[in-house]
């Protein structure tokens, strides 16, 4: 349904061609009703995924600061049974993590069979912030792109479906959300002065995101550019893509033990 937001392999992306304020000509009620149906379906599909125990889903969320990663996790995946969902938030790497290759901390948090794993930020920080700040050169970045593609292919070949979502907000919307955080005592703790330094490099980040999409959107691990100024539309797109992905997996409940029909419980 929302394949137009999926980036085909090798596509040269210009983020200016994507409207972050798009809402699909749907009103608030329509978006909420469609999302509610998706969430009800996801609840049942996750149960099957967990019971089958043979395959998994990895959802990668990337965005600029205040892009809506936390809100997406809460609104789209909050309904699911927490036994079958694991959220991993990647902050600045620790000394231990830095002593290993850049994918070490990522691979060890990949979802087990039967699970839905959600990455709040991810291995893509290692080809975004490091590149904007010129901490790695072009040769190293190309090597990391290859390594990432090989890693995600390995996951796919071992039963993990990888879905990557870039929550595309406008600079004006980011400003609005920053101001809301400053004005709201319950959100003020989320504001970091360092976010303003990142905001100053907005155009550089857009260029690097475009390069990430061109180099790492693949058939087995596609990127979706999700219009995210409208939170309801964002939730609708992501819940639809995850639901349709799970439906295509044709999940099956395991066969019960033999002889259960003859059991008598006193």
What are the pLDDT digits (tens) for 77-133? 999 999 999 999 999 999 999 999 999 999 999 999 999 999 999 999 999 999 999
The residues that bridge with 58 in the sheet, in sequence order, are 117, 162
- In angstroms, what is the C-alpha Rg of the chain? 20
Low-confidence ranges of the chain (pLDDT < 50): none
Fold topology of 3-250: Rossmann fold (3.40.50)
pTM for the model? 0.96
Q: Two tokens at 139?
A: 């040769």
pLDDT of residue 259: 85
* The pLDDT value given to residue 263: 86
Strands 85-89 and 223-227: unpaired
Three-class SS string for 156-200?
HHCCEEEEEEEEECCHHHHHHHHHHHHHCCCCHHHCCCHHHHHHH
User: What is the reported pLDDT for 258?
Assistant: 84
pLDDT score at 2: 83
Boundaries of every domain in the chain: 3-250
Rounded Cα gap, residues 7 and 91, in angstroms: 26
pLDDT of residue 78: 95
Q: Note whether 69 and 120 are within 8 A (CB).
A: yes
């Amino acid at each position: 349904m929302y394949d137009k937001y999926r980036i085909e392999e090798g596509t040269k992306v210009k983020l200016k061609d994507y409207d972050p304020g798009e809402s699909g000509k749907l009103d608030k009620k329509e978006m909420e009703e469609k999302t509610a149906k998706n969430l009800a379906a996801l609840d049942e599909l996750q149960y099957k995924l967990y019971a089958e125990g043979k395959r998994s889903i990895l959802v990668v969320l990337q965005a600029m600061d205040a892009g809506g990663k936390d809100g997406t996790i809460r609104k789209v995946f909050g309904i699911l049974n927490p036994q079958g969902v694991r959220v991993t938030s990647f902050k600045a790497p620790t000394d231990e993590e830095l002593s290993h290759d850049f994918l070490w901390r990522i691979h060890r948090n990949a979802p087990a069979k039967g699970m839905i794993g959600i990455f709040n930020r991810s291995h893509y920080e290692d080809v975004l912030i490091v590149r904007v700040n010129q901490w790695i050169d072009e040769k190293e970045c190309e090597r990391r792109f290859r390594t990432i593609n090989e890693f995600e292919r390995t996951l796919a070949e071992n039963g993990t479906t990888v879905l990557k979502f870039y929550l595309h907000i406008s600079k004006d919307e980011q400003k609005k959300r920053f101001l809301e955080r400053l004005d709201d005592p319950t959100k003020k703790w989320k504001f970091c002065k360092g976010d303003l330094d990142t905001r100053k490099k907005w155009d550089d980040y857009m260029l690097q995101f475009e390069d990430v999409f061109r180099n790492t959107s693949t058939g087995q691990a596609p990127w979706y550019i999700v219009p995210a100024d409208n939170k309801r539309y964002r939730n609708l797109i992501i819940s639809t893509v995850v639901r349709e992905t799970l439906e295509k997996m044709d999940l099956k409940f395991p066969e019960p033990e033999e002889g259960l029909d003859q059991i008598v419980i006193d």
